[in-house]
């Protein structure tokens, strides 16, 4: 049975813009998600990290037809909820509003995607704002842990830097106005873009709006791939001395396979994250509930186009127990390579992942957001059903195989963080 419950319409304009429509039972409401298949992964030129996130900011600077003040006034007048975010593999602009205002929104969005214009002074101002955002984020220990983990775990692939970019590149951004124009010209093109509309709409309406407002958009010619990361050969470690009071952290990363809806390894690691470190796991009961040695414990096998990281984060409440905590986390990791998971627990985890996804389908935003994630990985949405079917087909032996291939000491990077002892 399909986990994505709605009928949908998918088509491509002649310029390669993809348009996906999901009529959904939410009266008079619609969500428009615009997915640009350009994130920090695409920042392949040395000294140019952070530009995908930077353009999330610049896209709100306006056009000759819709300066930023007019754009914001139109959004507010419609009572719309509008925002954007950048990730490793995508940049997404999203708005939820009354369905009757969707055509006007489509016109404004098509205009800014085709005619964005900003003077150099505005560029410099926004570049300084991005630096301020980086500095603010860097005061949060988890953000710094993830930044250091990626930098330590990768040598050549662009996943080495976060979506914010390397600090040295952010500091140079105000001088790169000309490059910013090139970045926009390369990636803000129809072949990199997908429109997703979910809500009180019909496919005929959306096809018509897309053709009228986006049909004249010209294709580009830029293609590039990140350098392939070599296989890991030895464990790596790093430590962060934190200047203010904090509880100690341990962040482990294991080089994991790319997202796939046909090969079992990445789906098996999704299940391992839940079974080994979820709130009903034996380790959670041991470290968080019974002994109360930690107050944060989670694991993630985040979906990525290229091989990324299986991560485990722990925050210790008792610094004297940190070595014991680390040992028990590694014991849990190693058990996946040596001991078959109880089939009953495995079946429960498979059902739980299905239900977790189903619960995101309770609004126009939830539907469109989940599709944006899928589109950024494969440019299609049938991958949602294929991935869930793959998860539910896995047996205990598949988890052992995935763990033996990826949850190994040579594939591990460990980053610790603790306050400076004075």
Mean pLDDT in order along the chain per 10 residues (422 residues): 91 98 95 97 96 93 92 92 95 96 96 94 94 95 98 98 96 95 95 98 98 97 92 95 96 98 98 97 97 97 98 95 96 97 97 93 94 95 96 98 97 96 70
Entry pTM: 0.95
257 and 268 in contact (C-beta within 8 Å)? no
Determine the Cα–Cα distance for residues 420 and 127; give it in Å rounded to an integer: 32
CATH 3.30.830.10 boundaries in the chain: 9-214, 236-419
Look at residue 128 in the predicted model and tell me its pLDDT. 94
What is the CATH architecture assignment of 236-419?
2-Layer Sandwich (3.30)
Determine the Cα–Cα distance for residues 14 and 128; give it in Å rounded to an integer: 39
Look at residue 2 in the predicted model and tell me its pLDDT. 87
What is the CATH architecture assignment of 9-214?
2-Layer Sandwich (3.30)
Q: Output the CA–CA distances (angstroms, integers) from residue 230 to 39, 154, 165, 307, in the order listed.
A: 21, 9, 21, 11
393 and 386 in contact (C-beta within 8 Å)? no
CA-CA-CA-CA dihedral for 371, 374, 375, 378, to nearest 10: -160
Look at residue 224 in the predicted model and tell me its pLDDT. 83
Look at residue 422 in the predicted model and tell me its pLDDT. 67
**Which of 410, 390, 412 is closest to 268 using CA atoms?**
390
Alpha helices in 255-395 (DSSP H): 264-277, 282-284, 322-338, 343-358, 364-378, 382-393
């Amino acid at each position: 049975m399909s986990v994505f419950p709605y009928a949908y319409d998918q088509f491509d304009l002649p310029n390669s813009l993809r348009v996906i429509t999901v009529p959904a039972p939410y009266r008079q409401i619609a969500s428009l998600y615009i997915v640009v298949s350009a994130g920090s992964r695409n920042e392949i030129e040395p000294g140019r990290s952070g530009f995908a996130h930077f353009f999330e900011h610049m896209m709100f600077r306006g056009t000759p037809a819709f300066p930023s003040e007019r754009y914001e006034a139109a959004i507010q007048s419609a009572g719309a909820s509008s925002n954007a975010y950048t990730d490793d593999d995508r940049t997404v602009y999203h708005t939820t509003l009354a369905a009757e205002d969707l055509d006007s929104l489509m016109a404004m969005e098509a205009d800014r995607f085709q005619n964005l214009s900003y003077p150099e002074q505005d560029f410099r101002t926004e570049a300084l704002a991005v630096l301020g955002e980086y500095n603010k984020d860097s005061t949060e220990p988890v953000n710094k842990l993830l930044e250091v983990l990626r930098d330590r775990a990768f040598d050549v692939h662009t996943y080495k830097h976060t979506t914010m970019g390397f600090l040295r590149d952010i500091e140079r951004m105000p001088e790169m106005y000309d490059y910013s124009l090139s970045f926009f010209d390369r990636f803000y093109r129809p072949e990199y873009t997908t429109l997703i509309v979910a809500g009180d709409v019909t496919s005929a309406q959306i096809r018509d709006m897309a053709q009228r407002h986006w049909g004249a958009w010209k294709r580009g010619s830029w293609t590039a791939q990140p350098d392939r990361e070599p296989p890991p050969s030895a464990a790596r470690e790093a430590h962060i001395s934190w200047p203010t009071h904090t509880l100690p952290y341990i962040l482990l990363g294991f080089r994991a396979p790319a997202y796939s809806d046909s090969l079992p390894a990445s789906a098996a690691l999704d299940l391992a994250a839940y079974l080994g470190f979820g709130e009903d796991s034996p380790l959670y009961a041991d470290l968080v509930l019974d002994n109360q040695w930690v107050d944060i414990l989670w694991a993630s096998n985040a979906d990525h186009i290229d091989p990324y990281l299986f991560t485990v984060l722990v925050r210790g409440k008792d610094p004297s127990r940190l070595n014991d905590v680390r040992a028990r986390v590694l014991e849990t990791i190693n058990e996946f390579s040596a001991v078959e998971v109880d089939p009953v627990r495995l079946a429960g985890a498979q059902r739980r992942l299905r239900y977790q996804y189903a619960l995101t389908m309770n609004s126009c935003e939830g539907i469109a957001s989940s599709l944006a994630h899928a589109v950024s990985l494969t440019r299609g949405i049938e991958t949602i059903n294929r991935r869930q079917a793959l998860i539910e087909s896995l047996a205990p032996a598949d988890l052992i195989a995935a763990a033996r291939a990826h949850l190994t000491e040579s594939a591990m990077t460990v980053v610790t963080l603790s306050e400076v002892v004075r």
